[in-house]
Chain A
Amino acid sequence: MLKKLWLKIQKWQQLPPTQRGIVIIALPVCCLLSTVGVLIWLSASIADYEGWVRHTQRVQLEGRELLNHLIDAETGVRGYHLTQQVGFLEPYYTAAAQLPSTLENLEALISDNPHQLAHFQDLKSAVKETFQLLAQQLEEGLNLSLAEAEQRLYFYQQLEQAKQAMDRSRAAINAFMSEEDRLLVDRQQQLEALRQTNTVVLLLAVVVGLGSSGLAIHWFRQLYQEVDLRGQRLEVACDRLARFTANASHQLRAPIAAILSHAQVGLLLARQAPEQSLPRLEKVATLAKSMGQLVNDLLFLARYEGVSPPDFATSFDLVPLIEEVVQEWQETSTASHHFHLEVPSVPLMIKGDREMLKQVILNLLTNADRYTPKGGTITLQLNQQGTSAVINVSDTGMGISEAALPHIFDYFYRDERVRQQGISGSGLGLAIVRQIVHLHRGTVTVHSQENQGSTFTVKLPLAP
């Protein structure tokens, strides 16, 4: 699970900055848009449900109105019957006049609810029946002239009839109303639920919005840091290139300038001072030779620049090779140093190119020789560490300054201190060492303290 997440994060980081930038910008915008959409939909739903609730309340109002009409009508008729006062009939007439419109309103209001419509049909017939009965009673009552005892009996029967009709009507209205009540409660509950949902969605949107903004800020910072890092790397590369061209132009042009000057001055003075020609020609020859060596070194570096390590066919013992190089070096070296050589008594087999590795050791010894004053000590140790052969070349010389350490393997790099002391050198020796060691899948490292000495360590994998 964690591994999958890690892979995803890595995938994300490998995306080009443009795509990541688009995602970073789109994330909060998408959150905002979806929040707004959800909120609009919720508001519409809430408004919808509020409409329904109001609608139900109106139905209830109309229902109560109907009930009032009924009661008014019945009370009026009953009062009239009891008192024979026509004044009592006024509410009845009013109710009878308003009844059809009330019924129509109700029918229109509940036309969307078939269940309620069925109820309503019952209610309508019951109410109409009641009114008809009341109207009939009134009609009869107005035209009646019976004996009092009979009248009473008759009225009693009439009242009983009306009461039954009233009860039916009431029951129908109650059934209808209780259904509406249930609907109202139902709709109010739904409305409440929607409102709660709305609040929850709002809170969620705030949390998601803040989260996504946070994430976007985090990603953006990450992106910025990456771009910044790339910029820094570029700067370092540019600096390195600038240093290289400056150093290279100096190191390459100096011998050419010297050759040209010597040759031209020799020509200039050929007549007046012919004795000067000989030393100048010797200088030209020496300088041309060192120039040739410089060109060879450069060509070697160019040839193997960025080349992946080849599979060397031959393997050989490193011990006699080192002894051989040391012997050659001691024959040519003019400096007076104490020299120690420590080699193991067992062979250390290496797959590689003998001449190249000789060059590595020779360059390291030449450097130790060059930067160690008279009477200093140079030590060459060869030993085995696990599956590697380790060559240590240490001296007690001038050492390398902290500032120069990162650059000593650069092409043509020469430390300011070395230049000041007028120590000769092309600045390519260590670059060649590093390149050859890399071709042999090895590593080269350096430990140095200024004015204490330096130790170069070359690790080479042993032949399997």
Chain B
Amino acid sequence: MRILFVEDDPEQLEPLSTALTHVGHLVDGVQEGETAQWLMQEKTYDLLILDWMLPKVNGLELCSQYRQQGKSTPILLLTAKDTTADKVMGLDAGADDYLIKPVDVMELLARVRALGRRSPQWLGDQLHLQDLVLDLPSMTLRRGDQAIVLSTREYQFLEFFLRHPGQVISREQLELNLWEWDNQPESNAVSTQIRRLRLRLEELGCADWLETIYGMGYRLQANS
């Protein structure tokens, strides 16, 4: 999933972002509210993780502003505030879940999975394309009785294609959706990743399912 993670303390943001990335999510980590506001306007996310106490614009304000804009992406509040009144305030501001620091990484990942199921784009824990099955929690790709474990990057690319089956997806779309906002990809980065993914698909005998449409982009389509 594409996640916006807003947390002012880099010592907490860095390890948690690493953990989320490790299980295949794409994380935009931001340390203050104003940048977060801009990103929430500009980009589409599957999940927002917000710290409450932020400099300038706090997490609660971000949360209610986002909801006022009519956006329904799940929001997880992550905060040191632990009173019932705080929780009520947080949930009333539009958060879907509320975690009190210090948070166990395993629990955070489980909650993120649970909130992901609520996401409007959620298609279950497995994505199918004919007899090709991608198991999301384990990043395993199966076809028939063969199974391979994908790397994080391969998994992210394949997941994106499986969510848009049969559509021609441009290089710009891939760059926008599969790289962090502050991380400009190299000019050949997309084609490199596509090449790698084809190699992996070849192991299952379906490399030709991922086509290059010249001048337009790429398409994942099952060839019977």
Tell me the A residues contacting B by CB distance below 8 Å: 245-246, 249-250, 252-262, 264-266, 268-269, 272, 276, 280, 283, 287, 416, 419-420, 422
Q: Is the CB of B80 within 8 A of A249?
A: yes
Q: Is the CB of A261 within 8 A of B12?
A: yes
Q: Is the CB of A260 within 8 A of B102?
A: yes
A418 smallest CB distance to B (angstroms): 9
CB contact list, B13-60 vs A, under 8 A: 15-16, 18-19, 22, 32, 53, 55-56
Q: Is the CB of A249 within 8 A of B81?
A: yes
B111 smallest CB distance to A (angstroms): 14
State the CA gap A276–B100 with chains docked (Å). 26
State the CA gap A258–B15 with chains docked (Å). 8
Tell me the B residues contacting A by CB distance below 8 Å: 8-9, 11-12, 15-16, 18-19, 22, 32, 53, 55-56, 80-83, 100-106
Q: Is the CB of A258 within 8 A of B11?
A: yes
Do A261 and B80 contact each other (CB < 8 Å), given the known contacts A253-B102, A419-B55?
A: no
Q: Which of A262, A283, A416: most chain B Cβ within 10 A?
A: A262
Do A250 and B11 contact each other (CB < 8 Å), given the known contacts A260-B104, A265-B19, A268-B22?
A: no
Task: Report chain B residues within 8 Å CB of A249.
Answer: 80-82
State the CA gap A209–B106 with chains docked (Å). 78
Return the chain A residue nearest B9 by Cβ.
A254
Residue among A246, A258, A266 making CB contact with B12, cutoff 8 Å: A258
Return the chain B residue nearest A280 by Cβ.
B15
A421 smallest CB distance to B (angstroms): 8
B133 smallest CB distance to A (angstroms): 24
Q: Is the CB of B8 within 8 A of A253?
A: no
Q: Is the CB of A287 within 8 A of B16?
A: no
Residue among A246, A252, A262 making CB contact with B11, cutoff 8 Å: A262
Given A253-B80, A280-B15, list of 13 further CB < 8 A pairs? A246-B53, A246-B81, A250-B53, A250-B80, A254-B12, A257-B12, A258-B15, A261-B11, A264-B105, A265-B16, A268-B19, A272-B22, A419-B8
Interface of B is mostly: loop
Task: Report chain A residues within 8 Å CB of B106.
Answer: 264
Q: Is the CB of B80 within 8 A of A254?
A: yes
Task: Report chain A residues within 8 Å CB of B15.
Answer: 258, 261-262, 264-266, 280
Do A257 and B102 contact each other (CB < 8 Å), given the known contacts A246-B81, A249-B81, A269-B22?
A: yes
Task: Report chain A residues within 8 Å CB of B11.
Answer: 254-255, 258, 261-262, 283, 287
Residue among A256, A420, A422 making CB contact with B101, cutoff 8 Å: A256
A211 smallest CB distance to B (angstroms): 50
B151 smallest CB distance to A (angstroms): 10
B15 smallest CB distance to A (angstroms): 4
B117 smallest CB distance to A (angstroms): 22
Please, could you name 29 A-B residue pairs with CB atoms under 8 Å apart, sorted by A? A249-B81, A249-B82, A253-B100, A254-B9, A254-B101, A255-B11, A257-B9, A257-B12, A257-B103, A258-B11, A258-B15, A260-B102, A260-B105, A261-B11, A261-B12, A261-B103, A264-B19, A264-B104, A264-B105, A265-B19, A265-B105, A268-B105, A269-B18, A269-B22, A272-B22, A276-B18, A280-B15, A420-B55, A422-B55
A249 smallest CB distance to B (angstroms): 5
B202 smallest CB distance to A (angstroms): 24
B9 smallest CB distance to A (angstroms): 5
State the CA gap A129–B102 with chains docked (Å). 129
State the CA gap A260–B100 with chains docked (Å). 13
Task: Report chain A residues within 8 Å CB of B16.
Answer: 261, 265
Task: Report chain A residues within 8 Å CB of B12.
Answer: 254, 257-258, 261
State the CA gap A259–B19 with chains docked (Å). 14
State the CA gap A262–B12 with chains docked (Å). 8
Task: Report chain B residues within 8 Å CB of A255.
Answer: 11
Return the chain B residue nearest A248 by Cβ.
B80
State the CA gap A144–B82 with chains docked (Å). 138
B121 smallest CB distance to A (angstroms): 26
